[in-house]
Amino acid sequence: MVGKFKEINDITKSKAEKRVRINAAYQGLNTFAWTSSFVGFIAVSGLFMSKGYIELGTIIALVQVQNGVSQLFNQLGTFINQLQTSLAGFDRISELLDKKEEPKYYPLSEEGCYDNAVLSLYNVNFQYEDDIKVINDLSLSVKKGETVAIVGPSGGGKSTLFKLILGFNYPQSGCVSIMGKPASKYTMEEIRDLAAFVPQDPYLFSGTVQENISFGKTGASTKQIVEAAKQANAHDFIENLEEGYNTLVGERGTFLSGGQKQRIAIARAIIKNAEILLLDEATSALDNESEALVQSALDDLMGEKTSIVIAHRLSTIEKADRILVMDKGAIAEQGTHQELIELGGIYANLYNLQFKEDKIA
C-alpha cells in the first residue's frame, strides 16, 4: 500500500513539474517575443517619424494595439491551464448532476408480500451495473426485539443489504416491508427515522461533541445528551476532554481515537431511540480495550431494540438470537451459534479460523 501510494505520488509530482516547466517556457518565450517586438516597433516608428512618414499620435495608437495583442498571448498559457483545471471540475459536477434525484417514497417493484415483522424481505434481488447479483433471492424476517447477526466472507452482500434497508439502493425485484407495511408506503425520511445506523467508521461533523450526539435527535436537551453518553460509556472520556462536551472533534472526528468516535456514534444512536438498530462491524477496527467498552455499550443498546448486526469478530455475536451466514448474496446458513458450530459449515470454519488466529496472537 505504501509502495503504491509512493508510485502514484511520484507520477503526480512528475506531471506537475512538467506542467510548470511548459508554462514557464511559454511565459518566457512570450515575454521575450513581446519585448523584442516592442523594441523593434519603437525603433522603426522613431525612424519613420523622423522622416515624416508617420505622426506621434499614430505611433501611440499602434503601441496600444500592440500591447493589447501581446497581453492576449501572454495570458493564453495561464488561460489554458485554468481551462484544463475547470474542465476537470466540470466533469465531477456533471457526474453529480447526472445522478437521479432520490425518490420521495421507497420504490418497490412488488408490494403484495409482507408480514407483521419489524423488518421483512421476500425474494429480494439487487445488482450493480456490472450485472453481477449482489443480493440473490434473499428472504428475511426479523421479529420485534430480536437480535440477528449477519456474517460471511467479504463481498457476500452484507453491507449492500443495509443499503437496501436504508433506501440508499433499491431492489430490482422482491418486496420489503417495515413494521408490517410495504416499504413503498414510507417516505425515505420516515424509513431512516425508523432506523439508527452505527457504521464501522462513523462520520463525525466538524463541531463539538455535544452537537455530534444531538444530531440523533433534533432539539435534544443537555440532560438527554449526557444520559445517552453515559449509556454509551462515553461520558467519562468526554468529561476528561479539555472543554468537555463543548470540545471540538475536528473534521470527521480527527481529534478523537477510533474507540471514542465509535462511542459518540453509539450515543447518537441511543438518543435517536429508533425502532431498528443497524450495526455494521462496529468494533472490528478497535483495540481490545476500546472494543470491550464499545461492545458493552452495544449490548445494553441491543437489549431493548430490534437489532441487525454485521459482525467480523464472531465472538461478539455468540449470544445473538439468530445468526445468518451470507455467501454470494444469499443466506447459506442460519441458526444459533451452537447450531451453526454443530453444522460444521461456513460459520464453523470462520469461527475456528478466528479462534486459531486469536490463540496465536
Smallest CA-to-CA distance from 290 within 315, 319, 257, 244 is with 257
Report how far residue 114's alpha carbon sits from residue 184's, in angstroms, rounded to the nearest whole number: 11
Residue 316: the pLDDT is: 79
Model pLDDT, residue 356 = 60
Residue 316: DSSP 8-state: G
What the block records as the C-alpha cell of 192 is 431512516
pLDDT tens string 338-353: 998 989 888 888 888 8
| Predicted confidence (pLDDT) at residue 170 exceeds the cutoff of 80 | yes
Handedness of CA 345, 346, 347, 351 (dihedral sign): positive
Q: Which run of H or of E encompasses 278? A: strand 276-280
Cβ contact 286:251 at 8 Å: no
What are the grid coordinates assigned to 359, written together? 490463540
pLDDT band at 322 (very low <50, low <70, confident <90, very high): very high
Match 503601441 to its residue by C-alpha cell. 63
pLDDT tens digits, one per residue of 203-237: 888 888 899 999 888 888 999 999 988 888 888 88
Counting DSSP H helices and E strands in the chain, the numbers are: 11, 10
Per-residue pLDDT tens over the stretch 38-87:
777 778 777 777 777 777 777 778 777 777 777 777 677 677 767 777 77
> What integer is the mean pLDDT of 179-203?
87
pLDDT in tens, 107-132: 876 666 677 888 988 888 888 876 77
Backbone angles phi, psi at 142, to 5 degrees: -120, 125
Q: How far is CA 196 from the centre of its chain?
A: 17
284 pLDDT band (50/70/90 cuts)?
low
pLDDT at 150 over 70: yes
pLDDT value for 202: 83
